[in-house]
Amino acid sequence: MMKIVLLSCLLGLTIAAPKNDLTCTICTDVIGDLAEWITSDTTESDIIIFLEDNLCGALGAILPDLEVSCREIIEAQMPAIIEGIVNDNLSPEQICIDIFACP
């Protein structure tokens, strides 16, 4: 559940907030936690489905228009984030720069 909260914060920050040290710090913390989750026994598909169902579903309950945007962002960004963590050994800082959460 904590991952859902953290990822929803990250999603909101990357959509709406100006990029600054706070958004960068939050992003790197969340991506660090995500990296631990990814390297456990989960597949990319499992992660995307989980995030879309739980994270986007929860956001959609708050703001219905946000669910579609959330799903689009998850589908567009999450495979590259997962690949960056697993295959390219990218640091959370580099991923956050790449997704424009850091200045």
Q: What is the CATH number of the domain that holds 26?
A: 1.10.225
- Nearest Cα neighbor of 92 from 11, 33, 44, 19 is 33
Q: Highest-confidence range of 5-9, 38-42, 61-65, by mean pLDDT?
A: 61-65
Q: Is 69 within the bounds of a domain?
A: yes
Mean pLDDT of all residues in 73-102: 85
- Domain range enclosing 35: 2-98
The Cβ of residue 6 has, within 10 Å, a number of other Cβ atoms equal to 19
Q: Total domain count for the chain?
A: 1
Note the pTM of the prediction, 2 decimals.
0.62
pLDDT of res. 35: 83
Query: 20-29: per-residue pLDDT in tens?
Result: 788 788 788 8
pLDDT of res. 1: 43
Q: Is 78 within the bounds of a domain?
A: yes
Mean pLDDT of all residues in 71-84: 85
**Close Cβ partners of 14 (under 8 Å, ≥ 6 residues apart):** 23, 27, 73, 99, 100, 101
Q: Is 13 within the bounds of a domain?
A: yes
Q: Is 103 within the bounds of a domain?
A: no
In angstroms, the CA 39 to CA 29 distance is: 16
pLDDT of res. 10: 57
pLDDT of res. 2: 47
Chain mean pLDDT for the chain:
78
